[in-house]
Structure 1
Amino acid sequence: MQAMIPFPDISPEIFSVSLFGMEFALRWYALAYIVGIVIGWRLVVATVRRPHLWANDTPPMDARAVEDLLTWVILGVILGGRLGFVIFYQPAYYLANPIEILQVWQGGMSFHGGLLGVVTACLLFSWRRGIRWLSVADVLCMATPAGLLLGRIANFINAELWGRPTDLPWGVVFPRAAAQDCPGLEGPCARHPSQLYEAGLEGLVLGAVLLWLVWARGALKFPGLATGVFFAGYGLSRFMVEFVRQADPQFITPDNPMGYVLHAGGVGLSMGQLLSLPMVVLGLVFILWARRHPA
């Protein structure tokens, strides 16, 4: 008999209340965003308050400026994440139902879109403040993995973004019909807990590496280095996990059961891999540039 792990009975909602005939709920996913942003904010504040971590013992901004940056980042995450999901994953649907683009509470966020939103926010903030944008990007990249860790755990609790079917002993039997739709398999269908793989790689491992580089190896004295490590590290982590992550249903067809967006001869790339490859390349460029151009 195949070993498998039953999905833990955890409600996506932490609690809900009814006010004036309306239901309000706090979900784990929302809490992950909130706590991730708070942790990231405090990490950035702690970093700018330690001049010795920066070139010439001069942080690019003070703690008050970080609060302004936080507003820009939140807008970048929400707007970029939502628009990225709309454009990268379901453009036809939202073109036919444009009003639903605004319904963020219904779900549907893209990391790569959120990243583009934060990059845009970082550039605008730095331009307005007259700050070197790579230094701002470095400290943001150092602080981001905490949010990724919590977000992927919330994905697991929500029983979403699960992996492909597996017979490995740590395969998880996710609930609902879509997760149990495994052609050719009889009985419960166990899947890779790909959300937890990403939490470990993008959150714990990448976060530990970046904190070590910044706090122990003086990475902030080489503008662009932490940014490069984050881009390359996230891109590589996501690229690898995509091999066992179930493709989004809109990409799966009878002729393309693996859900590749680019494929030939039985091999191909998923949308996540296609979006992650440029991150790896750009990350390596940042790393090489930073090593040759210290502040």
Structure 2
Amino acid sequence: MEGIVQDIRTTDFIVVGGGSSGAVVASRLSEEKRFEVALLEAGGWDSSPFIRIPAGSIKAIMNPEYNWFYQAEPDASRNDRADMWPAGKVLGGGSSINGMMYVRGNRGDYDQWAQLGCKGWSYDDVLPFFNKAETNENGGSRFRGDKGPLRVSNARLSTTLADAFIASGVRAGIPHNPDTNGAEQEGIGPCQATQNKGWRHSTARAYLAKAKRRSNLKVETHFMVSRVLIEKGRAIGVEGVQNGRTVRYLANKEVILCGGALSSPKILMLSGIGPAKHLGEHGIPVVVDSREWGKICRNIPEC
């Protein structure tokens, strides 16, 4: 009976996607007790030992139960090799199946975004939020947090080969850098990981583990959102399928898409927001003609 609405639910805020960003957004919104929040995740819970135990990450990332397995287009520069684009299909998203390396990104990228007009996205602007998010095993500093929910730990295994690799890099002229997320990113040194006492520490563990106990937060798993409902130019809810039933979720306040770099533009295009020509090819009524929206997604055959 897909397509026939069988269930209508209402909340204040709808967060679509319980991954690396959605888990954080839902947790933070639900801190305000007067609001009801619904977190809609297409995958399931992150209870598998392959997710929780770092050594099981290869089992998690190669399991279709936890990974969308998007396929990129063939790359002509590499003999038409088509890579798999991992994307988490589980609470915690990519942070539940990735290699757990904690890499914030380069200062220059954030500063360039700010120069291009993205106010509030310079490195100095975002640094306080990085610090607020983490508790670093080595303690707090100007570049590190010590009171946040996300645990960042030193690598627990030190090997002769790793030490030799770092030493050889230094001898080759690469500056030694004990913290590539600190004052400078350039250099060679040990990495840190999103782990807590030897366990993977995803956003599901860091933010949702406690937040899910709140009465005003409802975590809906195996909920595949198919489109955003738009009325008079405003998003009023979403529609999707959960356990074979078509469900319509209405939002009193806002709909927040946290589906990732591929799923979020895909959902918007299915909702009629995107390049009119491309939407027309698939028989999707155009709500907003946005030529650039979904440009990356359109290059992924399985998206």
TM-score range, shorter chain: under 0.3
Q: Which structure carries more helix by proportion?
A: 1
Larger RCO, structure (CA 8 Å, separation 6 or more): 2
Choose between structure 1 and 2: higher strand proportion: 2
Task: Normalising by structure 2, report the TM-score.
Answer: 0.24
